[in-house]
Amino acid sequence: MIRFIILAAAFAFILWLIIATAGAHEAKTVAGQPLGWVYPISCCSLTDCRPAKSDEVRETSEGYRLTSTGEIVGYLDKRVKDSPSGDFHVCQQGGDFDKGRVLCLFRPSRGF
């Protein structure tokens, strides 16, 4: 009976670990959000998102161009989202930031 309880507890713990790590991960800490902000699960699976380097996203007449891949994401594309941190963040398929297709692009809010 004790053996069964130990096995059940171990199984429950492993299941909890899998579920706990299956969600999206957090971006860096920002003012008003001391624990950071969470990338949406639709954009990220723990390794797909990161802050963009300062020269990595360029605004062109067609949209946002990633200098690492040359991919252009149109300004009105549904993958473009407001960035809670006020910085660019990029989420690319498979976490491959040199070749991966853009899943989401977080851009700084534009004030009018």
For residues 94 and 83, give the distance between their C-alpha atoms in angstroms, rounded to a whole number: 21
Q: Which 3 state secondary structure label does DSSP give 111?
A: coil
Q: Which 3 state secondary structure label does DSSP give 20?
A: helix
Is there a contact between 44 and 91 (Cβ–Cβ < 8 Å)? yes
pLDDT at 89: 92
Question: Which region among 30-34, 43-47, 69-73 has the lowest average model confidence (pLDDT)?
Answer: 30-34
Compute and round to an integer the Cα radius of gyration of the chain.
18
Is there a contact between 55 and 68 (Cβ–Cβ < 8 Å)? no
pLDDT in tens, 54-82: 899 999 999 999 998 899 999 999 999 99
pLDDT in tens, 98-109: 777 899 999 988
pLDDT > 50? residue 20: no
